[in-house]
Structure 1
């Protein structure tokens, strides 16, 4: 038995392979370093700082303070006829319901009030009604910062 091994291949253009591989892997061949090349989008993404996403407690506290800034702060009543609220009223407005974020934000706010104004405060309304607007705002801001740092 005789087997023929002669082939009749058409010669291939070597530049065709080079172009095909460049299409498959578009990374350019290394060249001389360019003077201060513009950053690539990938390097910009890697260098970008992480974006903070506030947790439910921080968000509730921030929205409640914004509510106080917009509608006003009140003493000795949950809701003033003109729309101002006490601290607990602002928390309720921001949370929308007595949910976990509402409870945890209230606990953090009361804890901060005790840190700044003494351990004797049993509730947010009692603390709110016995302090000035500036003192109350200071506690709100500190509570928001704590929630931010605790990432809650």
Structure 2
């Protein structure tokens, strides 16, 4: 048998692969000196501002909830079954004829005049001359106005 052991290949440098990989994946550069960590910045808008319900808005909201619970009436302050007219609901919600009661009544009457004309001189006369849906619309709009005015 005649086997040649010489291949004729050029011998290679054993560190050739190591140098090639250094070109592909160079060693990281020395890190810059660490700076002191800055304190965490908390954005000022992270927490929404707290908005408190004003006394007029609360009185109007409570009065409408009273009407929803006990019923709405016309022609009487308090119906024998517990329903009330708008002024009766305001009185029940306010608990007394205080400034919130007066301001809520003025706002309610003003909204009634906006929606149904300026001829209404009092809440009872307006309440007794309109449907439940019309009265409710005035209540809801007055509550939104009180909320917008933050009163």
Partner of 2:36 in structure 1? 29
Residue 73 to residue 50, structure 1, CA distance change in 2 (3 Å): same
Partner of 1:36 in structure 2? none
* Displaced runs of 4 or more, over 3 A: 42-46
What is the CA deviation profile of residues 65-105 of structure 1, one whole-angstrom value per residue up to 9, with x for unaligned ones?
Answer: 00001111001000011110000000000000001000000
Partner of 1:61 in structure 2? 60
Once the 2 structures are TM-superposed, how far is the Cα of residue 45 of structure 1 from its aligned partner?
7.1
Partner of 1:115 in structure 2? 114
Q: Secondary structure at the match of 1:29?
A: coil
Partner of 1:135 in structure 2? 134
Matched, 1:52 2:59: no
Unaligned runs of 5+ in 2: 1-34
The alignment of Structure 1 onto Structure 2 pairs a total of residues equal to 116
Partner of 1:11 in structure 2? none
TM-score computed with the length of structure 1 as normaliser: 0.71
Partner of 1:147 in structure 2? 146
CA distance in 2, matches of 1:66, 1:112: 18
Partner of 1:124 in structure 2? 123
Which stretch of the first structure deviates more once superposed, 48-57 or 69-78?
48-57
Based on CA coordinates, which of the two structures has the bigger radius of gyration?
2
Partner of 1:103 in structure 2? 102
Partner of 1:6 in structure 2? none
Unaligned runs of 5+ in 1: 1-27, 32-39
